[in-house]
Amino acid sequence: MSPEDRPLRPLDQTEEALVRALGRVMMALPRVVDADMVRDGGLRLSEYTPLMFLSEAPQVRMRMSELAEACNLTLSGMTRVVSRLEKQGFVQRVQCAEDLRGWNAVLTEDGLARLRDAWPAHLASVRRHVLDNLADHDLAQLAAGLRRIAKTS
């Protein structure tokens, strides 16, 4: 019997509490980290995240579509973010050599420096809002479970 064919089983109290708490975290966490970063690092989370992914990419470049997927944005949303970053000199857009229809976002030296400057604010916020609250939990097991959830979404 496939999972789709099984009868639905109502959530128990603990399951319901977990699902609701996870929903609240998904809404609240980006807002509080963004507020901390703007206050302490002067860079929005929506700008920090693509800079981070670009810094980890081969040749500090990614196709716009891949960067959008990594940042969980639509291509048009990513284009708006990259346009802001480009105006600040943190990213350049260059045509893909292997597919002239596509564009790459490329991290500049100024972008890498800006990422390094904002990193302490991001780290402090993530520690305060996430890791300090999970100190007594198995983080490897939690991360594995969250990755499984993300794969099914």
pLDDT at site 100:
76
pLDDT tens profile 107-116: 999 999 999 9
Instruction: With a cut of 70, list the residues of the chain below it in pLDDT.
Output: 1, 3, 153
Entry pTM: 0.87
What is the per-residue burial (b if ≥16 Cβ within 10 Å, else e) of 89-119?
Answer: ebbeeeeeeeeeeebbbbbbeebeebbeebb
Alpha-carbon distance 57 to 54, whole Å? 5
| Beta carbons of 68 and 83 less than 8 angstroms apart | no
Q: How many residues does the chain have?
A: 153
CATH assignment, 25-130: 1.10.10.10
pLDDT at site 3:
67
pLDDT at site 30:
96
Burial class of 43 by CB neighbour count within 10 A (0 to 12, 13 to 18, 19+): buried
Beta bridge partners of 94: 104
